[in-house]
């Protein structure tokens, strides 16, 4: 790993010259979405009592329209496993993503991050306005992973009003709707439909340099063992990803210079244990909640499709890759998805 890091460090100026016009990143996390459904679609062992409309691909639009333009990590049979760095639980996973290094969080009650996250670094080192680094999430605790110092970036989670300091009838309307239509069956979050609507409105209005979108319905339906609703949610995510990619094509240079990451905070168990996070152990021969995946899309990302025979990728691979795209030197460059970057292929 030290040798690899040295090579990547030497290559950073070359990478920067190749991607100097990539200046925006959108990171989407879909909570608790198994690699099995992302890559393989519906699980035949779990699909006996569901509508036939959910058979087959869970992300059909992605695989048909965007997979050949992407670099995709974590496929079970590709020889490129991707894992969580901490226990496969939500807050530890999100902290690994935004910190990019080890931490001591091992449950959803461990509190706020204790060091600078990469969204905060973007604010400080690129001298960005707060509104240019934004995060929208359905689950209320994600803010504890996004920033160490409260108020550094623009964050909106749970069923809280979005307020960017302007008079905005669209935001006002969505704020009213989300309060009148809370999730049925779980708390501490809002329905994803409102998180997505707020995010898309914000994207069109502010064109942020970095936008995080954290979706949660998938994990909630999984824990309630509602496999059909879980699959229906993944189909909705697929449609939203397609909507986002089509929107970016209408946004000129902004859209051309935007890289999109799609990943998950943890995996799930196999077969009848799919509703939980499995046994928390790392063994590639056992499908556990540590097995995750990530897809990266963008004009300057190498279109590798499913990446093969690359090991050592994890949640901590996301931060250094984003930093490189912004022209920043990461603390741990060897962890990056460097295969997907120009000049290192």
Encode pLDDT of 212-226 as tens digits: 999 999 999 999 999
Res 7: pLDDT: 53
Q: State the CATH class of domain 2-340.
A: alpha beta
Share the mean pLDDT of the chain: 91
Instruction: Give pLDDT, residue 342.
Output: 79
73-77, 115-119, 189-193, 217-221 — which is least confidently predicted? Answer: 73-77
Given this model, what pLDDT does residue 277 score? 82
| Secondary structure (H, E, C), the chain | CHHHHHHHHHHHHHHHHHCCCCCEEEEEEECCCCHHHHHHCCCHHHCCCCCHHHCCCCCHHHHHHHHHHEEEECCCCCCCCEECCCCCCHHHHHHHHHHCCCCCCCCCCCCCCCCCCHHHHHHHHCCCCHHHEEEEECEHHHHHHHCCCCCCCEEEECCCCCCCCCCCHHHHHHHHHHHHCCCCCCCCECCHHHHHHHHHHHHHHHCCCEEEEEECHHHHHHHCCCHHHHHHHHHHHHHHHHHHHHHHHCCHHHHHCEEEEEECCCCCCCHHHCCCCCCCCCCCCCCCCCECCEEEECCCCCCCEECCCCCCEEHHHHHHHHHHHCCCCCCCHHHCCHHHCCCCC
pLDDT tens-digit series, residues 279-326: 555 554 554 788 999 999 999 899 999 999 999 999 999 999 999 999
Residue 18 has pLDDT above 70, yes or no: no
pLDDT at 30 over 90: yes
- pTM of the predicted model as reported, rounded to 2 decimal places: 0.93
pLDDT of residue 273: 85
Tens digit of pLDDT for each residue in 79-137? 888 999 988 899 999 999 999 999 999 999 999 999 999 999 999 999 999 999 999 99
Q: pLDDT by residue (tens digit) across 210-266?
A: 999 999 999 999 999 999 999 999 999 999 999 999 999 999 999 999 999 999 999
Predicted local distance difference test score (pLDDT) of residue 280? 53
Residue 243's pLDDT is what?
Answer: 98
**pLDDT over 70 (residue 9):** no
Position 279 scores a pLDDT of 55
Q: So what's the pLDDT on residue 292?
A: 95
């Amino acid at each position: 790993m030290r040798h690899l890091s040295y090579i990547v460090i030497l290559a950073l100026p070359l990478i920067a010259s190749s991607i100097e016009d990539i200046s925006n990143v959108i990171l989407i996390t879909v909570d608790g979405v198994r690699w099995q459904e992302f890559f393989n679609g519906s699980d035949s062992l779990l699909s006996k009592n569901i509508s036939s409309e959910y058979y087959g691909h869970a992300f059909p639009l992605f695989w048909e329209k965007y997979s050949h333009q992407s670099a995709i990590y974590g496929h079970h049979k590709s020889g490129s496993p991707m894992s969580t760095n901490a226990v496969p639980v939500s807050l530890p996973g999100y902290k690994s993503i935004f910190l990019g290094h080890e931490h001591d969080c091992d449950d959803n009650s461990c509190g706020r991050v204790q060091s600078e996250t990469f969204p905060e670094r973007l604010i400080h080192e690129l001298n960005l306005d707060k509104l240019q680094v934004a995060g929208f999430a359905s689950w209320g605790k994600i803010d504890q992973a996004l920033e160490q110092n409260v108020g550094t970036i623009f964050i909106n989670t749970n069923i809280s009003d979005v307020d960017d300091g302007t008079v905005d009838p669209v935001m006002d309307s969505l704020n009213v709707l989300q309060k009148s239509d809370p999730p049925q069956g779980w708390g501490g979050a809002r329905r994803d439909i409102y998180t997505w609507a707020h995010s898309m409105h914000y994207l069109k209005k502010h064109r942020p340099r970095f936008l995080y979108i954290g979706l949660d319905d998938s994990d909630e339906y999984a824990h309630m063992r509602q496999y059909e609703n879980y699959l229906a949610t993944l189909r909705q995510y697929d449609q939203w990803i397609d909507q986002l990619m089509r929107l970016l094509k209408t946004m000129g240079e902004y859209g051309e210079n935007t890289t999109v990451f799609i990943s998950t905070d943890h995996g799930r168990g196999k077969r009848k244990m799919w509703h939980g996070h499995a046994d928390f152990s790392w063994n590639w021969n056992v499908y556990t909640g540590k097995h995750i995946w990530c897809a990266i899309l963008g004009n300057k990302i190498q279109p590798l499709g499913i990446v093969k025979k690359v090991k050592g990728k994890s949640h901590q691979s996301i931060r250094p890759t984003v930093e490189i795209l912004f022209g920043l030197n990461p603390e741990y460059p060897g962890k990056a998805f460097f295969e997907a970057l120009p000049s290192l292929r």
